[in-house]
Structure 1
Amino acid sequence: MLQQVLHGLMQRYMERVPDVKAIIQAMLQEGIIANPEAIENDHIAFRTMGVPQLGIQSLEKIFLRYGYTKKDAYRFSEKKLDAFWYAPPAPQYPRIFISELRVQDLSPRAQEIILSYTAEVKADPVNTLNLDDAAAVDAFLHSGLWRLPTLEDYSRLAEESEYAAWVIYNRYYLNHFTISVHNLPPGYNTIGEFNAFLEGKGFTLNNAGGKIKVSPDGALLQSATVANMITATFANHATCRIAGSYVEFAERKVLPRYAHLPAAAIKREHRRDGFEAGNADKIFESTYRSQTGS
């Protein structure tokens, strides 16, 4: 079940985000990987609206049902976001990071716009979703939860919260997947080296807070591309170029107590786990105009 749902998510994500295929192709041409399956997906991320019938408490039910374990909470005061991460049932699956907008913390006008859409969802839709039907879950994660927004509403939300604007258009669309660079061959298995490879191939990296985001303990290093721009069709057939999704990269260092292990013996459980609010805060900006230049 979980494998089928994740496959569906990744298929549509790859179709919509040109950088995904382009990065994989560049890695193949460089001889970094022999095939796409050699890439470890560190985590995937979703964005949601924090309203009673939706948000984290709704979306997480899908992944908890498939064996994920809810872990640490994160709070992003300036961006008005909350988040949790979820550990997978087995190491071959990606971690999951789900964030939600604290809608009640926005201006009355922004709340009014958001609620005019989310109020169309009268009850938690996951409660009536057959979680034993992978095709139904896949379809749900790629379906519109509310009517297509107007360009005017999207633009007004973007003035106050670019996160809100992204979600009002994209709904549960996969925000990003993450390549684990520490499992790549020497010369490419650090964030610094992999960033240099990406930029040498012409990819643009998020430079908010620096191109490499480093946790206080120095054990989690992350970077990301700037989101691909997509032509979005809004209500009344209005179109506009907006930020879509992006690709993230993570380097998780070996924990000190396992430093004695030979490289061939290192597994996921021997590396730094979890996330870091300071890193994630800047990664969010991969879809922001300050990065996309839109």
Structure 2
Amino acid sequence: MISLYSSSSAIKAFLDRSPFLPLRFPSSSLSVSVSSSVGSPIRLPSAEKRAHSIVAASRGGSMSSNGDDSRQVAESFFRSVLGQMETVYLNRNPTPKSVLELVKSVDDVQLCYDHLAFRTFGIGGYGIDSLASFFLDYGYTQMDELRFPAKKLRALWFAPPDVSAIPGGSGVNGPLPRVFISELLVEQMSSQTQDVIRKYTETWPGGKKYAALSSALGTLPWEKPLSSEFEKLARESEYAAWTLVNGYALNHVTISVHRLKSHLNKIKKLNQFLEEKGFKLNSEGGVLKVSPDGGLLQSSTVADSISFKFSDGVTKSIPCSYIEFAERLVLPQYQNVPETEIQESHRRDGFEVGNADKIFESTNQGQLSRRTG
């Protein structure tokens, strides 16, 4: 990745050319915070919360044609940014690209994303909020918090507004995905690790304002690090090392398995299919990760690696990104609803600490070593 720090003139030119960036919905009327007990199964967000987000968004403009046009322009811009994030992700990661092409070759109707995931440094404004603001301004609703004490991480997930998919659209042009953003609790790390992270995040404090732009352009919002500092972070936290060299890049996209129309719409069958094709799946805690309530089933590939030239001229192989799969089962209270009438709202929503904790391992050396083992 190139550095945003060394491209500030290019950023300014980009912002000056874009007529859509100032077009924002009032985020103060769109955000709803919900807390949950750490480690407990995440409850299904109520329909009232989702409705609140939709109603709040409608207050951002009148029902006039101008208001409708503004929202259409905002949605077009928003999906374009997501599309650029996706393009950067697919260009850097051959495994997700191959998996998506393979699944599409079997299931060519509409491939939907369950969620997009990002990693951040929880310090100096570079944490969850720096990226969440982009999604909140569009109409996403903040939902539950998840804590990972052993990894010194916290995360929030965000529910999308009720926006129709582009007809025939797949991926970022399909139903808008959930968003999962995590952050490293930097103040809980060793002083040496904190010093390294502060060195880069404090060099250009304004970089946090361009989190979404950094992701879409495939750039780092700080200078390229020294290889020795990358190794120092990796010894304490592989998450920290990953974030130092990948920045706000998409950590993974997740295929919504139950929305597939072929025989691959069951995650066990999809896992078997991919393994038979030679793809390595994250084996931490077992290939299939299941929530305690049994309603959320997840798996993922092992992350790709790319060659990275550090600022001291050293070139190393670093972990990049991966692709995840999620099947959300129908909730008990909707078991009698005919299959043809089942909607996403009838299925298990949210995320699960135990599952996510194991999915994080997809970029760790223990899993990456299996690619060549």
TM-score by length of 2: 0.73
The CA deviation string for residues 1-41 of structure 1, in whole angstroms up to 9 with x for no partner, is 22111111111111111112211222244x2x126xx1110
- 1: CA distance between counterparts of 2:128 and 2:250? 14
**What are the residue-to-residue correspondences of 1:5-154 with 2, within 5 Å?**
5-29=81-105, 31=106, 33-34=107-108, 38-90=110-162, 92-123=175-206, 125-126=208-209, 137-138=212-213, 141=216, 142-154=218-230
Greater radius of gyration (CA): 2
Aligned amino acid, residue 200 of structure 1: E
Gaps of 5+ in 1: 130-135
Shift of 1:233: 1.4
Q: 2:214, 2:249 within 8 Å by CA — same for their partners in 1?
A: no
The CA deviation string for residues 229-286 of structure 1, in whole angstroms up to 9 with x for no partner, is 1111111221111110000000000111111122221111111100001100000000
The CA deviation string for residues 58-99 of structure 1, in whole angstroms up to 9 with x for no partner, is 211111001100000010000000100000012610100000
The verdict on how the C-alpha distance between 1:40 and 1:140 changes in structure 2, with shifts beyond 3 A counting, is closer
**What are the residue-to-residue correspondences of 1:181-260 with 2, within 5 Å?**
181-185=257-261, 187-260=263-336
- 1: CA distance between counterparts of 2:99 and 2:220? 29
- 1: CA distance between counterparts of 2:338 and 2:215? 44
Aligned amino acid, residue 100 of structure 1: E
Question: 1:271 — aligned with what?
Answer: 347
- 2: CA distance between counterparts of 1:281 and 1:111? 22
Aligned amino acid, residue 264 of structure 1: T
Fraction of identical pairs, as percent: 46
Question: 2:17 — aligned with what?
Answer: none
- 1: CA distance between counterparts of 2:308 and 2:207? 27
Runs of 4+ displaced beyond 3 Å: 136-141
Question: 1:155 — aligned with what?
Answer: 231
Shift of 1:124: 6.6
The CA deviation string for residues 103-155 of structure 1, in whole angstroms up to 9 with x for no partner, is 111111111111111111324732xx6xxxxxx95456433211101111001
Question: 1:164 — aligned with what?
Answer: 240
Q: Which moved more, 1:172-181 or 1:138-147?
A: 138-147
Gaps of 5+ in 2: 1-76, 164-174
Aligned residue pair count: 282
SS in 1 for 2:312: helix
Aligned amino acid, residue 258 of structure 2: H
- 1: CA distance between counterparts of 2:215 and 2:306? 22
